[in-house]
C-alpha cells in the first residue's frame, strides 16, 4: 500500500485529491487541521502522531519534524534504505502534499506585527517540500492546489515528479526570499536581491525578430500585466512596453484622463470631465505620432470614446473596463488588442535595469513625494487661475516623458491637454523647439513644463518665441537667478517645484 502525507494550509482541492487517493487504496497520513478536514469529510486518515509516536507540540509548531516522517520521505528505493526503515519499524512515504503558511500575505497587511509574521514562518512545510523534491526519483511533491492532477496515475511518471520537484524548490526559494526581505527591512539592511519570477507568456520575439523574449511575473498564476486580454493577438514585447508606459502615465491622474503613447513616449495626454472628451485633444496633440500608438484610459471605454477616436489606427487600448457597445465597435478592428486592467491592480514598486557588470535598482517615480517642498513663484508675474490649472496638469503630464522633457499644455476651463511634447534629446533647448513644432500655432498662450531645471536662459527665450505665458520647472540651477530674470524680462510667470522628474 502506498502512503500519502497531506499537510496543507490552503485546503482548496484537498478533499477531492484525498478521495481519489482513497479510491486507489492509498493510506492517507495527515497532520493537524488537514487531518480534521479529512475526517469531517468522512475519509479514513492516519494522524501524523500515530506515525511518529509523539504529540504535536508548541501549538502546532512541531508536527512533522520527526525521523519517522523524513526517513519515510528520503528513503531511496534500495535494499539498504528499505532495511534501515524496516529496522526502525517505519514505512516509505510516496506522496507529499504540502503548502505553506501565507507569510507574504500576512506581512503585506497594514496591521501586521513582528510577532504575527514570525508565527507565519513555515518550518515543517518547507522541510517536507525540500525532502520530497530531493527524492523525486521515488516521491511525488505537490506544493500548490493548482498542481493536483485529474488522474493520480501521473504520480508514476518520473517526468511529472521531476517537474513537481522543480516547482517545490521554486516555492521554497521564493518563500525564503520573502522572509529575508522582511527581516532586511526590520534591521534596515540592503538584502541580496533575489528575484523569483515565473514565465507567464513566451513572446513571439523581443524588440526585433532576432531577439527571443518572455514575459515573467512574481506570481506563477498571474495574467499578462495582471489584466485580461479581451480581443486581438497575443501582446508583443513592444506592445507590453508601450502599454506599461501608457498605463503608468494615466494612473498619475485622478480625473478622467486619456494618454496616447508611441514607442514608449507619450505624444498626447488630456483630462476632461468625461474621458470620451479627453481622447480628442490627446490625439490632436500629435496626430501623426498617434498612428499605430497605444491608448490608455483611467475610466471605462464607451462607444462615444471609440467614436471620438475616429478612424485612427492603434495597436492596443488599455482601460479598467469596456462597455458592451464599445466592445461591439472595437470588434470590427481585428488586429486591435484590448487589455482590461483593474485600477487597483498591484503596481511594480521598483525599477531594475541591467548595466555592464551589474544591475541598477531604484524606487519607481510615481510623482512628487508627500514631503515635497511647496511650490514657489519667484517671478514678478503670477500665473492666472487658468494658467495655474494648466501648470498643475502639465507637471503631472511631463513626468512620464523621456528627459530632457518639455511639454506644452493649455486649460480651456473644462479640459487640460498637451499641445506638443519634446523629450529624449541631449539638450533641453532642442526639446523646447520640438514641443513647439508639435504645437504649431496652438503654442501661443500655452504653459510649459520641464522635468528638470533650465541650465541657461536660452530655453526661456525659445519658450517666449513660441508664445508661452507660464513655465513650471524644478529650479536648482546655479543660474536660477539668470533664468528667473529672463522670465521677468519676457513677461513669463514661473513656478518652481523643488522636485525633478528625470526619466532616462
Q: Give the Å distances, CA to CA, from 333 to 66, 259, 292, 315, 482.
A: 62, 20, 13, 10, 53
Residue 119 has a CB neighbour count (10 Å cut-off) of: 14
Q: How far apart, in Å, are the Cα atoms of 503 and each of 264, 424, 431?
A: 12, 9, 14
Long-range (24+ apart) CB contacts under 8 A made by 140-143 are 140/94, 140/95, 140/96, 140/164, 141/96, 141/98, 141/165, 141/167, 141/168, 142/17, 142/95, 142/96, 142/97, 142/98, 143/98, 143/99, 143/167, 143/168, 143/171
- What is the per-residue DSSP string for 111-142? T--HHHHHHT--SHHHHHHHHHHHTTTT-EEE
- The cell for 484 is 528667473
Grouping H, G, I as helix, E, B as strand and the rest as coil, residue 265 is strand
CA–CA distance from 404 to each of 168, 366, 450, 463 (Å)? 47, 18, 8, 15
> Active-site residue 210, yes or no?
no
Q: What distance in Å separates the CA atoms of residue 153 and residue 262, rounded to the nearest whole number?
A: 51
376 among known catalytic residues: no
CA dihedral sign of residues 87, 90, 91, 92: negative
Phi and psi at 465, nearest 5°, equal -60, -30
300 backbone φψ class: left, alpha, beta (φ>0; ψ -120 to 50): beta
What are 72's three cell numbers? 519515510
Q: What whole-number distance in Å separates Cα of residue 444 and Cα of residue 436? A: 10
Catalytic hit among 120, 263, 304, 381: 263
Residue 392 has which C-alpha cell? 498643475
- Helix (H, G, I), strand (E, B), or coil: what is residue 269? strand
From the list 39, 40, 2, 6, the residue with the least C-alpha distance to 23 is 2
With beta carbons less than 8 A apart as the criterion, state whether 197 and 217 touch: yes
Exactly one of 134, 163, 274, 304 is catalytic; name it.
134
CB burial class (10 A; 0-12, 13-18, 19+) of residue 323?
middle
**Count of beta carbons in the 10 Å neighbourhood of residue 475:** 23
DSSP helix, strand, coil percent of the chain (3-state; round to 5): 40, 20, 40
Closest-CA residue to 472 (of 458, 489, 452) = 452
Residues identified as active-site: 134, 263
Amino acid at each position: 500500500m502506498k502512503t500519502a502525507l497531506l499537510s496543507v494550509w490552503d485546503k482548496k482541492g484537498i478533499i477531492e485529491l484525498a478521495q481519489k487517493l482513497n479510491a486507489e487504496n492509498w493510506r492517507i497520513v495527515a497532520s493537524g487541521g488537514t487531518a480534521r478536514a479529512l475526517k469531517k469529510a468522512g475519509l479514513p486518515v492516519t494522524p501524523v502522531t500515530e506515525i511518529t509516536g509523539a504529540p504535536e507540540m508548541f501549538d502546532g509548531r512541531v508536527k512533522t519534524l520527526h525521523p519517522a516522517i523524513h526517513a519515510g520521505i528520503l528513503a531511496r528505493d534500495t535494499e539498504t534504505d528499505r532495511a534501515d526503515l524496516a529496522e526502525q519499524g517505519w514505512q516509505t512515504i510516496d506522496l507529499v502534499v504540502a503548502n505553506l503558511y501565507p507569510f507574504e500575505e500576512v506581512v503585506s497587511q497594514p496591521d501586521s506585527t513582528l510577532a504575527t509574521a514570525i508565527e507565519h514562518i513555515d518550518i515543517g512545510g518547507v522541510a517536507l517540500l525540500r525532502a520530497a523534491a530531493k527524492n523525486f526519483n521515488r516521491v511525488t511533491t505537490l506544493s500548490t492546489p493548482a498542481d493536483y492532477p485529474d488522474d493520480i496515475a501521473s504520480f508514476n511518471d518520473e517526468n511529472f515528479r521531476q517537474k513537481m520537484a522543480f516547482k517545490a524548490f521554486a516555492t521554497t526559494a521564493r518563500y525564503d526570499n520573502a522572509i529575508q526581505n522582511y527581516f532586511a527591512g526590520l534591521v534596515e539592511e540592503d538584502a541580496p536581491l533575489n528575484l523569483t519570477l515565473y514565465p507567464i507568456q513566451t513572446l513571439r520575439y523581443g524588440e526585433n525578430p532576432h531577439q527571443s523574449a518572455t514575459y515573467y511575473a512574481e506570481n506563477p498564476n498571474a495574467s499578462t500585466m495582471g489584466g485580461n486580454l479581451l480581443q486581438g493577438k497575443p501582446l508583443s514585447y513592444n506592445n507590453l512596453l508601450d502599454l506599461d508606459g501608457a498605463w503608468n502615465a494615466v494612473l498619475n491622474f485622478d480625473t478622467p484622463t486619456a494618454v496616447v503613447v508611441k514607442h514608449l513616449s507619450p505624444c498626447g495626454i488630456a483630462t476632461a470631465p468625461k474621458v470620451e472628451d479627453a481622447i480628442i485633444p490627446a490625439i490632436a496633440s500629435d496626430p501623426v505620432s498617434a498612428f499605430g500608438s497605444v491608448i490608455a484610459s483611467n475610466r471605462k471605454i464607451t462607444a462615444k470614446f471609440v467614436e471620438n477616436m475616429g478612424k485612427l489606427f492603434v495597436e492596443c487600448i488599455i482601460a479598467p473596463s469596456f462597455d458592451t457597445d464599445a466592445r461591439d465597435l472595437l470588434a470590427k478592428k481585428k488586429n486591435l488588442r484590448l487589455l482590461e486592467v483593474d485600477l487597483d491592480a498591484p503596481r511594480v514598486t521598483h525599477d531594475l535595469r541591467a548595466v555592464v557588470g551589474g544591475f541598477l535598482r531604484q524606487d519607481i517615480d510615481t510623482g512628487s513625494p508627500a514631503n515635497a517642498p511647496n511650490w514657489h513663484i519667484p517671478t514678478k508675474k503670477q500665473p492666472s487661475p487658468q494658467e495655474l490649472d494648466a501648470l498643475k496638469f502639465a507637471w503631472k503630464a511631463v513626468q512620464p516623458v523621456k528627459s530632457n522633457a518639455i511639454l506644452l499644455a493649455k486649460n480651456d476651463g473644462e479640459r487640460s491637454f498637451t499641445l506638443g511634447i519634446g523629450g529624449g534629446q541631449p539638450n533641453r533647448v532642442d526639446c523646447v523647439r520640438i514641443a513647439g513644432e508639435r504645437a504649431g500655432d496652438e503654442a501661443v498662450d500655452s504653459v510649459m513644463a520641464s522635468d528638470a531645471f533650465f541650465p541657461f536662459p536660452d530655453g526661456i527665450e525659445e519658450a517666449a518665441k513660441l508664445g508661452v505665458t507660464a513655465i513650471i520647472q524644478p529650479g536648482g540651477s546655479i543660474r536660477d537667478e539668470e533664468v528667473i530674470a529672463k522670465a521677468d524680462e519676457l513677461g513669463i510667470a514661473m513656478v518652481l517645484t523643488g522636485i525633478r522628474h528625470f526619466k532616462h
